[in-house]
Amino acid sequence: MKYIVIISLLVIVFSCSHKTKNSFDNGDKKNEKLITDTIQQKELFAHLMKLTNNTVLPQELQDSLAFLLLPVKASCPACRMKTIDSIDKHKNNLDDEHFVVIVGNGTKSINGFFRKQDKELPLTRKNIFVDTTNYSSTNDLTSSNPDIYYASQGKVYMKVSCMPNTIKGDLREFFKGL
């Protein structure tokens, strides 16, 4: 009887700790959020346009657009370092569909994070912007780690919240093809 109880407990413990794929798990990454509400899609896009000084041309609105937001002070050091390295690596290759917004409490402060990694803040590059007014935080676009938004036809359809265990793949996907 004692062995039956122990075996039963082991079965329960291992079955609870074993992750199974259920009918609600479609295999998507947990850090990706589809945005389906039309009003929210348009509002998010309007906020992103404000952050990028409305640089998207009307003919590009039909294209797929990608926006990377890096809150330098709030991000975990690993995410911040990897994102800064990626921005530096791809700063000359950004096309008209990729935008980077670096969020911080002033250009001098933001520049300090780049200098810690022996990089220059690429302010003169096209499609790289700085948010020193906390606009992105006040409008819930970013908080504690880099976020990537994917948009098309004037609407945001997906948000990827980068995490330390997904940052490499998330950045690879954002900069893919550049």
In this prediction the pTM is: 0.82
Summarize pLDDT for 59-115 with one digit per residue, the tens: 777 789 999 999 999 899 999 999 999 999 999 999 989 999 999 999 999 999 999
Q: Residue 137 sits in which domain range?
A: 37-174
Q: Report the relative pairing of strands 98-103 and 128-131 from DSSP bridges.
A: parallel
State yes or no: pLDDT of 17 exceeds 50. no
**Tally of domains within the chain:** 1
**Quick one: 176 exposed, middle or buried, by C-beta within 10 A (0-12, 13-18, 19+)?**
exposed
Structure tokens at 93: 């290759």
Tell me which of 57 and 83 has the higher pLDDT. Answer: 83
CATH label of the domain that carries residue 127: 3.40.30
The reply to whether 28 falls in a domain is no
Structure tokens at 137: 């935080």
Structure tokens at 67: 């926006």
The reply to whether 74 falls in a domain is yes
Summarize pLDDT for 102-157 with one digit per residue, the tens: 999 999 999 999 999 999 999 878 899 999 998 999 999 998 999 999 999 999 99
Backbone angles phi, psi at 20, to 5 degrees: -115, 155
